[in-house]
Amino acid sequence: MKVFILSCLLAVASVQSVVAQVLIAPEAANATISDSALLKSAKPSITTLSSVQVLAENDLEVGGAKYPFILLPNGHTAALSARGCQKLGEQLYTVQDHALPSVQKMLAKHAGKSTRFYIGSGRNTTTSCSVLTMTKGVASINNKASCKASLPALCSNTNTKGSTVTVQASLGRLTGLRDKHGFRFNGIRYAQPPTGKRRFAAPVPITTRWNNNVDATKLGGICPQPAGGSDDCLFLNVFTPKLNAGKSGLLPVMFYIHGGSFINGAGSDPSFDGANMASRGQVVIVTINYRLGIFGFFERVDAGISRKTIPGNQGVRDQLLALKWVQDNIASFGGDPRQVTAFGESAGGHSIRALLSMPVAAKGLFRAAIAQSDPLDIPFNTAKSASQVVSGGIMKILGCADKDINCMRSKNTTEIIRAQTAVVSQAIALAPEESFMELIKPTVDGILIHNQFDQLIAGKNGGVVRVPFMIGTMKNEGNGFLPSLGQTTPVRDIVFGITADAFLGYQRAMITAAYNLYPIDDSIPDATRIVEGLLASDYLWICPTQFITKAWATQVKTPLYHYQFQRAYSPTRPVSDICHGLVCHGDDIGIVFASPAVLNNPSEYPWTSDDAALSRQVMDRWIAFGVTGGNPNTSDEYPAWPLYDATKQSIYMFDLKPTISTGGLRPQFCGFMDQALKYDFQLYV
């Protein structure tokens, strides 16, 4: 197995104290390299390099990155460069004519000021070597160059099967994987296992160095949820194209928080595989697990249990600790802790809202934020709902007395999840002021979160984290949730009133019916569910998002960008599927990540050239926002995305041919929501 060791000495105090070097160990000595003469002349000692960076032309088409190669930017003679490639299990890269344009493009974009690079030719000798030269962005090859100059080098990147890499992080060594996209480190612990007495407690950071090398080639376990999982689940994953970057070469970091209504999901889900985003954008991707359900949001302040004993918002605290881990450790993986963008979808978007609502606890942990499909009309929980309805209800089912934390800690995860499911299924009856979609969620606890988001935006209770903000929705957010109301097939028009009652409550449902803004055309197949989907989308996502963006633009005044997807990635759906032909909640994930799990599985996930084109457009916008720290504009290839302001209300409409909408989305309906119905975060606090 091919192994190379990368040693990063990270002083905790600041990024400026990072000293990075790559030590290529002799485990790969059996690798075959054509430049034998160079190898014979090379010293047999370990080669020291400043950085290793994987580059490729990644157009997000089926199959992923093309013409991958490895850049060794530290200057060495040709002989030592060839040996450096060998220690990676590779050869000096022989640039074929058909690959030259891609190599040229990658070097022009990512090689900095370097203009000459050793490459392979099969004809290299100790006195005459092949060098690729970049002149004004154009590459040429000289096969008779000197071999003694100290130059960066290009290595092949083909022998990746079973290839591992070991990095020296601040707490010890971790061994991850190398592939054509870059490097990945899976299942890294960022906190001590929240088991035993640490169940329901605040997460505890890992501060003791580990003595043994940590295997980061396998994914960590998922947090307890209906599909399984265990308490020992606080892991994160790192995808990076670059290691030992040096203080001047660190890459921006994209920190992703998964969705799942705060009761499902994991950062290790293949849908969130960050390899393609890291490769195309030359950024570092971090995905995390955080505690879900009652494990992540248990509290009993109503029963007299202080927050010093059981703090509540454990899942949010996990996210904060993972962000702090990034600050302390990500430089060892090529990432810049000063350039972190936090982003998330659905409950992950809701988590971004929570992080933005913590100007003290989240200070300095990220410099920009993206909220995808945050159901903004679902407010943070009140302490009463979180303590009495959710936690108290679960304890009652489990037969635990109000203050008996030991009883709760003694129950196995299956018992607790079963009780949690029972309480969530009764959400409408138990807490009519709470949404049946997210009964368990972050709470206004008076410690981390001091008020609802709209109030914080208005400047109350310390305000919000003032960073550039991107936020948006899907065109048909709500349709996919109708089956959770039992509507798996078309329903009669009389059911609309029942559905409106479930979303809005009786009084507001009656007001909606009186205004007749959502008429049902019985001549259209499945008309009732189509209209219900419009109502759900307007009420939970589209209209409250516009309400919040107008408030942010007026009050916070940091750079703000608003979008909506008019097209997204939808795996093959039967005509009977309620989201067939629509742009539903979650359909942006495949486009944002272009996960290899999607691109390399055409039988299950048909990926077309149009999907790839849209994915390039969206991913480039996300990456640009992260790289610049708040500007999604990339090039003249796409329309300029204007800053959002409360007057023009310019919204970027993602499609194969994107457009800019002004004046807001669905103004008649959102005006009705703003004025006649109001939002849950205004009414139920």
What is the spatial distance between Cα 16 and Cα 134, in angstroms, rounded to a whole number? 30
Do the domains 468-683 and 32-156 match in fold? no
Concerning whether 346 is annotated as a catalytic residue, the answer is yes
- Give yes or no for residue 46 having a pLDDT over 70: no
Residue 573: its pLDDT value, please? Answer: 83
Residues sharing a CB contact under 8 Å with residue 642, sequence separation 6 or more, in sequence order? 648, 650, 660
What is the spatial distance between Cα 99 and Cα 95, in angstroms, rounded to a whole number? 6
Output 577 or 199, whichever has higher pLDDT. 199
Look at 48-52, 376-380, 395-399, 416-420 and tell me which has the smallest mean pLDDT: 48-52
Task: Classify the C-alpha dihedral 306-448-197-297 as positive or negative.
Answer: positive
pLDDT tens, position by position, 497-542: 999 988 888 899 999 999 999 999 989 989 999 999 999 999 999 9
Question: Which DSSP string do the residues of 118-147 spell out, in sequence order?
Answer: EE--S---SS-EEEEEEETTEEEEEEEE-S
Task: State which H helix or E strand residue 407 sits in.
Answer: helix 405-410
Pick the CATH number of 32-156 from 3.20.20.70, 3.10.100.10, 3.40.1190.10, 3.30.1490.20: 3.10.100.10
Residues sharing a CB contact under 8 Å with residue 626, sequence separation 6 or more, in sequence order? 252, 253, 254, 281, 283, 339, 341, 343, 368
- Give yes or no for residue 459 having a pLDDT over 60: yes
pLDDT tens, position by position, 603-616: 888 999 999 999 99
- Give yes or no for residue 460 having a pLDDT over 60: yes
Average pLDDT of 75-101?
92
Distance, C-alpha 618 to centroid of its chain: 14
Average pLDDT of 203-230?
94
Residue 11: its pLDDT value, please? Answer: 28
Residue 123: its pLDDT value, please? Answer: 67
Look at 162-166, 179-183, 515-519, 627-631 and tell me which has the smallest mean pLDDT: 162-166
> For residue 466, what is the DSSP state?
-
pLDDT > 70 in the chain, percent = 91
Give me 65's structure tokens.
Answer: 């990155």
Average pLDDT of 203-217?
92
What is the spatial distance between Cα 279 and Cα 73, in angstroms, rounded to a whole number? 17
- Give yes or no for residue 271 having a pLDDT over 90: yes
What is the spatial distance between Cα 335 and Cα 543, in angstroms, rounded to a whole number? 37
Residue 209, classed as helix, strand or coil, is: coil
Tell whether pTM > 0.85: yes
- Give yes or no for residue 39 having a pLDDT over 50: no
Residue 125: its pLDDT value, please? Answer: 67
Residue 625: its pLDDT value, please? Answer: 98
Query: Of 585, 595, 615, 650, which is the active-site residue?
Result: 585
Question: What is the 3-state secondary structure of 262-329?
Answer: CCCCCCCCHHHCCHHHHHHHCCEEEEECCCCHHHHHCCCHHHCCCCCCCCCCHHHHHHHHHHHHHHHH
Residue 663, classed as helix, strand or coil, is: coil
Q: For residue 481, which of 532, 543, 417, 426 has the smallest C-alpha distance?
A: 532
**φ and ψ at 2, to 5 degrees?**
-80, 130
pLDDT tens, position by position, 358-386: 999 999 999 999 999 999 999 999 999 99
What is the spatial distance between Cα 82 and Cα 125, in angstroms, rounded to a whole number? 12
Query: Of 130, 346, 570, 595, which is the active-site residue?
Result: 346
Output 98 or 602, whichever has higher pLDDT. 98
Output 169 or 470, whichever has higher pLDDT. 470
Q: Which amino acid is at 555?
A: Q
Query: Of 61, 299, 434, 477, which is the active-site residue?
Result: 477
Average pLDDT of 415-427?
93
Task: Classify the C-alpha dihedral 83-89-90-91 as positive or negative.
Answer: positive
Q: Which amino acid is at 641?
A: W
Concerning whether 585 is annotated as a catalytic residue, the answer is yes
Residue 23: its pLDDT value, please? Answer: 36
Residue 16: its pLDDT value, please? Answer: 28
- Give yes or no for residue 467 having a pLDDT over 90: yes
Residue 352: its pLDDT value, please? Answer: 98
pLDDT > 90 in the chain, percent = 78
CA distances from 345 to 169, 237, 544, 668 (A): 29, 17, 16, 27
| 481 burial level (CB within 10 Å; 0-12, 13-18, 19+) | buried
What is the spatial distance between Cα 582 and Cα 504, in angstroms, rounded to a whole number? 24
- Give yes or no for residue 206 having a pLDDT over 80: yes
Concerning whether 603 is annotated as a catalytic residue, the answer is no
Contact 153, 90 (CB under 8 A): no
Residue that the structure tokens 């099969």 belong to: 122
pLDDT tens, position by position, 145-171: 999 999 999 999 999 998 999 888 888
- Average pLDDT score over the chain: 90
Q: For residue 440, which of 224, 190, 221 has the smallest C-alpha distance?
A: 224
pLDDT tens, position by position, 306-360: 999 999 999 999 999 999 999 999 999 999 999 999 999 999 999 999 999 999 9
Residue 553: which region, alpha, beta or left (left: phi > 0; alpha: psi -120 to 50)? alpha
Contact 291, 332 (CB under 8 A): no
pLDDT tens, position by position, 575-600: 888 999 999 999 999 999 999 888 88
Query: Binning pLDDT at 50, 70 and 90, where does residue 44 land?
Result: very low
Average pLDDT of 161-182?
91
User: In the CATH hierarchy, which top-level class contains the domain 468-683?
Assistant: alpha beta
Residue that the structure tokens 């996209």 belong to: 181
Residue 122: its pLDDT value, please? Answer: 64
- Give yes or no for residue 234 having a pLDDT over 50: yes
> For residue 567, what is the DSSP state?
S
So where are the chain's domains?
32-156, 164-378, 468-683
Pick the CATH number of 164-378 from 3.40.50.1820, 1.10.150.20, 3.40.50.620, 3.40.190.10: 3.40.50.1820
